[in-house]
């Protein structure tokens, strides 16, 4: 059954959704860009409440988080649809699906908390497709999870969550924001969205003291220019040089199967540029066994966390400090 949205404005029969940064203005009978919210006679109703398409127990590194709770396991949930239209979507089977998707499972908030306990997870992740369009259920279920014990809650998001929605997510511990490129041209062409709004979200999450990691998927011939990557790194540095950044390898998918996978040399260039700008934690993603899967002390270079893919092989941290030089790390254990 649909529920009434927690964030909208009534406007003489029309409604203005305030859940994501599209801020859709909907006349009666019309659906939002997300395709899960509809103006029903002057009330904004949400039709994906509790409808899960995907549930899996994952290493937190798979999200990816490398500096937040390394080595822990997280129970991940996704629903259907999205508020972006990315041409390279890696989860298009659910992100471009609608409410007729045949494999949806109905959940109550208590079901999520029960599963977290039963599977002995360390926390819950709202991920796979955009969690911001699942705001009401993610909010209610996260609160229920927090009631059960010392569990964490993370978002893996495209960064279009509104400030109003973030304000309601007072139990959110961390967010990995997918900054998909660093030009408005890219966002307009590839995502049907605006870079400016994503930047505002990252800055607001930081202001709210929510732990942030950022993923930048490098797509050949689209967002792989060294100057663009430097501008991105300088923007992150201006917020906080200690924010971890993941440069991930693109694999052809959906409507971008004509592109080759990202050359390893391009990923390594991005790491070099980001470190030259002054970012302290820079990673390479989607390249199993690469040296930049690991975490190094920004001050002395000691390898602090050794990984193989999504799994921690060795962790030599002394609490949150480097055992060699004592430098306090931006790592939540």
Per-residue pLDDT of 149-182, as tens digits, reads 999 999 999 999 999 999 999 999 999 999 999 9
Domain assignment present for 37: yes
Handedness of CA 155, 157, 162, 163 (dihedral sign): positive
Helix (H) or strand (E) holding 212: strand 211-218
Closest CA to 58 of 105, 103, 116, 132: 116
Q: Are residues 251 and 333 in the same domain?
A: no
What is the domain extent for residue 326? 304-333
In terms of phi and psi (left: phi > 0; alpha: psi -120 to 50; beta: otherwise), the region of 79 is beta
Report how far apart, in Å, the C-alpha atoms of 269 and of each of 217, 240, 257, 259, 272 are.
Answer: 14, 21, 24, 19, 5
Q: Are residues 106 and 213 in the same domain?
A: yes
Q: Are residues 148 and 268 in the same domain?
A: yes
Q: Are residues 210 and 283 in the same domain?
A: yes
Burial class (CB in 10 A: 0-12, 13-18, 19+), 48: buried
**Which residues in the chain land under pLDDT 70?**
none
End-to-end Cα separation, the chain, in angstroms: 39
Determine the Cα–Cα distance for residues 98 and 27; give it in Å rounded to an integer: 20
Q: Are residues 113 and 236 in the same domain?
A: yes
Determine the Cα–Cα distance for residues 330 and 128; give it in Å rounded to an integer: 26
In terms of phi and psi (left: phi > 0; alpha: psi -120 to 50; beta: otherwise), the region of 293 is alpha
Determine the Cα–Cα distance for residues 52 and 125; give it in Å rounded to an integer: 13
Say if residues 63 and 127 touch (Cβ distance below 8 Å).
Answer: yes
What is the edge-to-edge ordering of all strands in the sheet holding 73-78?
54-59, 73-78, 123-126, 152-157, 174-178, 211-218, 245-249, 282-285
CB atoms within 10 A of CB 71: 15
Q: What per-residue confidence (pLDDT) applies to 1?
A: 83
| Widest CA span in the chain | 65
Q: What per-residue confidence (pLDDT) applies to 206?
A: 98
Domain assignment present for 206: yes
Closest CA to 250 of 265, 260, 242, 240: 260
The CATH number of residue 76's host domain is 3.20.20.70
Q: Are residues 217 and 332 in the same domain?
A: no
Q: Are residues 81 and 199 in the same domain?
A: yes
Q: Are residues 248 and 186 in the same domain?
A: yes
Domain assignment present for 180: yes
Q: What is the pTM of this model?
A: 0.97
Q: Are residues 115 and 165 in the same domain?
A: yes
Contacts of 184 (CB under 8 A, 6+ apart): 194, 195, 196
Q: Are residues 75 and 215 in the same domain?
A: yes
Q: Calculate the dihedral angle through the C-alpha atoms of 218, 223, 226, 227, rounding to the nearest 10 degrees.
A: -150
The backbone torsions φ and ψ at residue 75, rounded to the nearest 5 degrees and listed phi first, read: -90, 120
Handedness of CA 282, 284, 92, 109 (dihedral sign): negative
**If DSSP codes are grouped into helix, strand and coil, which group holds residue 311?**
strand
Domain assignment present for 298: no
Split into its structural domains, the chain has a count of 3
**If DSSP codes are grouped into helix, strand and coil, which group holds residue 197?**
helix
Q: Are residues 281 and 252 in the same domain?
A: yes
Residue that the structure tokens 């480097």 belong to: 322
Determine the Cα–Cα distance for residues 144 and 151; give it in Å rounded to an integer: 10
Q: What percentage of the chain's residues is helix, strand, coil (to nearest 5)?
A: 30, 25, 45
Q: Are residues 125 and 37 in the same domain?
A: no
């Amino acid at each position: 059954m649909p529920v009434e949205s927690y964030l909208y404005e009534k406007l003489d029969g029309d409604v203005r959704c305030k859940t994501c940064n599209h801020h859709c203005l909907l006349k009666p009978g019309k659906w939002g860009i997300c395709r899960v919210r509809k103006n029903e006679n002057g009330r904004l109703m949400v039709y994906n409440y509790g409808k899960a398409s995907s549930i899996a127990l994952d290493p937190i590194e798979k999200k990816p988080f490398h500096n937040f709770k390394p080595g822990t396991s997280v129970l991940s949930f996704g629903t259907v649809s999205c508020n972006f239209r990315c041409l390279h979507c890696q989860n298009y089977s659910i992100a471009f699906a609608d409410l007729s998707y045949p494999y949806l499972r109905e959940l109550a908030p208590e079901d999520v908390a029960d599963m977290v306990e039963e599977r002995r997870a360390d926390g819950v992740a709202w991920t796979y497709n955009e969690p911001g369009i699942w705001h009401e259920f993610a909010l209610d279920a996260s609160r229920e999870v927090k009631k059960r014990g010392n569990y964490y809650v993370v978002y893996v998001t495209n960064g279009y969550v509104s400030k109003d929605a973030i304000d309601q997510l007072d139990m959110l511990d961390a967010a990995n924001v997918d900054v998909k490129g660093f030009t408005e041209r890219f966002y307009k062409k590839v995502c049907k969205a605006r870079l400016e709004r994503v930047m505002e979200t990252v800055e607001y999450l930081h202001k709210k003291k929510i732990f942030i990691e950022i993923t930048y998927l490098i797509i050949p011939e689209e967002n792989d220019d060294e100057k663009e990557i430097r501008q991105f790194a300088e923007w992150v540095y201006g917020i906080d040089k200690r924010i971890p950044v993941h440069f991930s390898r693109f694999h052809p998918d959906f409507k971008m199967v004509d592109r080759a996978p990202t050359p390893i040399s391009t990923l390594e260039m991005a790491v070099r540029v980001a470190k030259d700008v002054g970012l302290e934690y820079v990673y390479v993603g989607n390249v199993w066994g690469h040296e930049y899967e690991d975490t190094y002390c920004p001050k002395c270079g000691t390898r602090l966390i050794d990984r193989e893919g999504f799994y921690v092989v060795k962790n030599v941290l002394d609490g949150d400090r480097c055992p060699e030089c004592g430098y306090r790390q931006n790592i939540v254990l």
